[in-house]
Amino acid sequence: MRTTREQRKRQYRVIYELVFETPRIYNKDMQKLLELNDRTVARRLREAFGKQHIVGPDIRKRSHSNTKEYTYFLNCKNPELAYLEYQKNEKITYHAQIRGFSNFWIIAKEKIDVEGDIILEGPRSDYYTSYAPDHSWEKALEIMRNKIKNFRPRDYTPKKYIQTHFNESVEWDEEDELVYRYFKYNLRKPFAPMMRKGISESKLNKFLEKLPETCTIATSYYPDTLLAYDHYLYMFETDYEDFIIDLFSELPTSSSFFKVDDKLFARTYVHRRYIKDRKLQMAVKKWYIPLLVIELLERGIIKSKGSALLEYHWKKDL
* pLDDT tens string 49-69: 999 999 999 999 999 999 999
Average pLDDT, the chain: 92
Is 136 found in the same domain as 76? yes
> Is residue 10 in some structural domain?
yes
Do 25 and 115 lie in one domain? The reply is no
**Is 139 a domain residue?**
yes
The verdict on 150 and 106 lying in the same domain is yes
Whether 193 is covered by a domain: the verdict is: no
* Domain range for 111: 55-171+210-318
The reply to whether 145 and 235 lie within a common domain is: yes
Helix axes 289-298, 137-150, angle to 10 degrees: 10
Is residue 180 in some structural domain? Answer: no
Specify whether 68 is located in the same domain as 35: no
Residue 89 resides in a domain: yes
Give the CA dihedral 85, 256, 254, 218, nearest 10 degrees: 90
The pLDDT of residue 176: 97
Query: Are 45 and 158 in the same domain?
Result: no
Identify whether residues 157 and 43 lie together within a single domain.
no
The count of domains in the chain is 2
Same domain, 24 and 125: no
Give the number of other CB atoms < 10 A from CB of residue 38.
11
First to last CA, the chain: 45
Same domain, 73 and 115: yes
Domain boundary among 31, 51, 71: 51
Residue 290 domain flag: yes
45 found inside a domain: yes
Tell whether 192 is covered by a domain: no
Identify whether residues 96 and 221 lie together within a single domain: yes
pLDDT tens per residue across span 11-30: 999 999 999 999 999 988 98
pLDDT at 7: 87
pLDDT, tens digit only, all 318 positions of the chain:
567 888 889 999 999 999 999 999 998 898 888 888 888 889 999 999 999 999 999 999 999 999 999 999 999 999 999 999 999 899 999 999 999 999 999 999 999 999 899 999 999 999 999 999 999 999 999 999 999 999 999 999 999 999 999 999 999 999 999 999 999 999 999 999 999 999 999 999 999 999 999 999 999 999 999 999 999 999 999 999 999 999 999 999 999 999 999 999 999 999 877 876 555 444 555 557 888 999 999 999 999 999 999 998 999 888
CATH of the domain at 310: 3.30.70
Pair (239, 295) in one structural domain: yes
| Domain end marker among 17, 34, 51 | 51
124 shares its domain with 222 = yes
